[in-house]
Amino acid sequence: MIKPRVYVTRRTLQPGLELLSSRCEVTVHQGEEPPSREELIRNIRGKDGLLCMLTDRIDSEVIGAAPSLKVISSFSVGVDHIDTAEATRRGIYVTYTPGVLTQATADLAFTLMMAAARRISEADRYVRNGEWKIGWSPTMLLGEEAYGKTLGIVGLGRIGSAVAERALGFRMKVLYHSRTRSPEKEKKLNAEYRSLDDLLKESDFVSLHIPFTEKTRQIIDRQKLGLMKKNAVLINTSRGQVVDEDALAEALEKGWIAGAGLDVYSTEPLPADSPLLKLKNTVLSPHIGSATHQTRSLMSEITAKNLLAVLKGEEPPYLFNPEVKEIRPLSEIKVF
């Protein structure tokens, strides 16, 4: 029996590759860097499945280069790098990895919140740079407290809710803004709904947990930043494009807000001339929301299981575009 052919755009952790190799003929892109666009297009030709990363732009040209493609399995929860509408139109199943990375990402949002509030990056540099000359001082590196403060969560999905759970332990007042209100979540998480403007006006910490779409592009713009409190800290572990980064740098520089904890940027890696790099009151991490051994290993397993399920003609654990079943039912896919 001919094995289905699969292209994997980066060497991932085990057990994913082992699982895939047991059933498919797998081509893995070698090296730390993502494949170039030409490599991607060349390698996707003739494949039944693609396992890609969020750094691979899977647009209509890439999809069009692979008429036999049946499934795109993304090693991410965000799918803004994939033209999902085009995939659906062509009967291609798009799968992703929600759920498994919720706790790791919520941990990072909380870490950035605490680090920005207590100026941890600045304090670390202060010690390393030999600036720590006086053993202890009543006024050295004063920051903000999180305990009992107000946390505004924009997007109360899986990750936003997991951040709210952590906030309960800090006796924080939790506000949220979401497309839809959820009375059950409000009760469970002791969270109060607010319009986006009111949430920004009332919160000491604002954490963003929304996907990047045309509707959320720069949803936090100059005007919205202007609504925030002077002592407020903005946390972003979702996508850089949901914030107007130039306006944010200005807000931080001019003291409209007190600080920021950022894991994501409109351009990644962050360009060397980004004004954010010069700001003291900003904690920066390099898109590591899901980067724990445990989570990345689970992501490797889920991406392989998602991909194999579709090729077997079975319901994948995490399907992003269920409407694709109307275009090409799973029974028509079954290649083994």
Residues 220 and 100: their CA atoms lie apart, in Å, by 27
Is residue 78 within the footprint of ligand GLV (CB under 6 A)? yes
Residue 181 or residue 215: which is nearer to ligand GLV going by CB? 215
User: Between residues 228 and 298, which has the closer beta carbon with respect to ligand GLV?
Assistant: 298
Catalytic residue selected from 122, 287, 296, 301: 287
Angle, in degrees to the nearest 10, between helices 102-117 and 293-311: 150
Closest CB to ligand GLV among 261 and 289? 289
**Residue from 155, 259, 289, 316 in contact with ligand GLV (CB under 6 A):** 289
- Of 91 and 211, which CB lies nearer to ligand GLV in the complex structure? 211
In the bound state with ligand GLV, the residue whose beta carbon lies nearer, of 185 and 239, is: 239
Select from 75-83, 137-145, 267-275, 311-319 the region that touches ligand GLV (CB under 6 A). Answer: 75-83
Active site (annotated) includes residue 287: yes
Q: How far is the CB of 228 from ligand GLV (least distance, A)?
A: 24
Nearer to ligand GLV among residue 21 and residue 285 (C-beta): 285
Q: Which amino acid is at 315?
A: E
**One-letter amino acid for residue 278 of the chain:** K
Q: Are 71 and 330 in contact (CB under 8 A)?
A: no
Q: In what order do the strands lie in the sheet with 233-236?
A: 191-193, 173-177, 150-154, 205-208, 233-236, 259-262, 282-284
- Name beta bridge partners: 125: none
Position 160 contacts ligand GLV (CB under 6 A): no
Catalytic hit among 165, 192, 253, 268 = 268
Catalytic residue among 239, 245, 296, 301: 239
Instruction: Among 12, 203, 290, 300, indicate the residue that binds ligand GLV (CB under 6 A).
Output: 290
Q: Which residues between 89 and 118 bind ligand GLV (CB under 6 A)?
A: 101
The answer to the question of residue 76 lying near ligand GLV (CB under 6 A) is yes
Q: How far apart are CA 285 and CA 4, in angstroms?
A: 38
**Per-residue contact flags (x/-) with ligand GLV for residues 52 to 71, judged by CB under 6 A:** --x-----------------
Question: What is the torsional sign of CA 129, 267, 55, 205?
Answer: positive
* Largest pairwise CA distance in the chain: 74
Closest contact distance (angstroms) between CB of 96 and ligand GLV is 8
The least distance separating ligand GLV from the CB of residue 287, rounded to whole angstroms, comes to: 6
Burial of 29 (0-12, 13-18, 19+ CB in 10 A): buried
User: What are the start-end ranges of the H helices in 73-130?
Assistant: 84-89, 102-117, 120-128
Q: Rule CB under 6 A: is residue 306 a binding residue for ligand GLV?
A: no
Is residue 235 at the binding interface for ligand GLV, with CB under 6 A as the rule?
Answer: no
105 and 237 Cβ atoms separated by less than 8 Å: yes
35 in helix, strand or coil?
Answer: coil
String of DSSP letters for 130-160:
T---SS--TTTT-----TT-EEEEE--SHHH
Residues that bind ligand GLV (CB under 6 A): 54, 76-78, 101, 289-290
Active site residue ranges: 239, 268, 287
